[in-house]
Amino acid sequence: MNDIAHNLAQVRDKISAAATRCGRASEEITLLAVSKTKPASAIAEAIAAGQRAFGENYVQEGVDKILRFRETENTDLEWHFIGPLQSNKSRLVAEHFDWCHTIDRLKIATRLNEQRPATMPALNVLIQINISDENSKSGIALDELDALAAEVAALPQLTLRGLMAIPAPESSYERQFAVARQMAVAFEALKARYQTVDTLSLGMSDDMDAAIAAGSTMVRIGTAIFGARDYSK
């Protein structure tokens, strides 16, 4: 077993253990492999080990990978855009990705809706919540969610699937869980209003256990699968 396959197996085991501890089924939680800055060869190893959902932060890099693997007939892969999205890059996301996790204003949602090709399924989108109220983070406040969700849900080429957040680092499990529960409560309320809502993208390597216990349905894991990133390239 190669390193990436081994790492994936370990991460899946951790997800399963975390789910079992809180009485959930591991099948309820999707593992999103964060492959930003990683070469196609590393993604190919993950695909060979059964991974199908990948997250990219940089638009052009993600598009290049999507096109490359489309050529190799890996047609069942899911590509998620999980980085901040500038208006001038929205068309590339609309035309190539399956998901966008970082909707935080109507302008971006409207552009994605207008630019999504009619021949493709609707783009799955998540509204990003700035749950820790950090100036450095994208996302909206929880009290802005109802209004934006109603506007996004009305766009025909988008499908509102749920919420995403990147909480501030917390040293204690209790604090991680408290923040994650805030997100889970908002997610449950949204799910009660929109039939398409089924996804809470919450939890990374350091807070995955608390996120799963709180109700996350998707965790975003990068370094634990692919190793440390090299940003010098």
SS3 content of the chain, % helix, strand, coil (to 5): 45, 20, 35
Q: For the whole model, what pTM was predicted?
A: 0.95
Report the residue count for the chain: 233
The residue among 30, 47, 28 whose CA lies nearest residue 38 is 47
pLDDT in tens, 152-171: 999 999 999 999 999 999 98
Beta bridge partners, 34, equal: 55
Q: Which residues of the chain have pLDDT under 50?
A: none
Beta bridge partners, 134, equal: none
Confidence (pLDDT) at 216: 98
The DSSP call for residue 50 is: T
Tokens representing residue 107 in the block: 């302008």
**Is residue 190 a contact partner of residue 148, using CB atoms and an 8 Å limit?**
no
Confidence (pLDDT) at 230: 65
The DSSP call for residue 231 is: T
Tokens representing residue 212 in the block: 């799963």
Confidence (pLDDT) at 25: 97
Confidence (pLDDT) at 231: 58
Confidence (pLDDT) at 2: 73
Confidence (pLDDT) at 136: 78
Query: How far is it, in rounded angstroms, from Cα 143 to Cα 186?
Result: 10
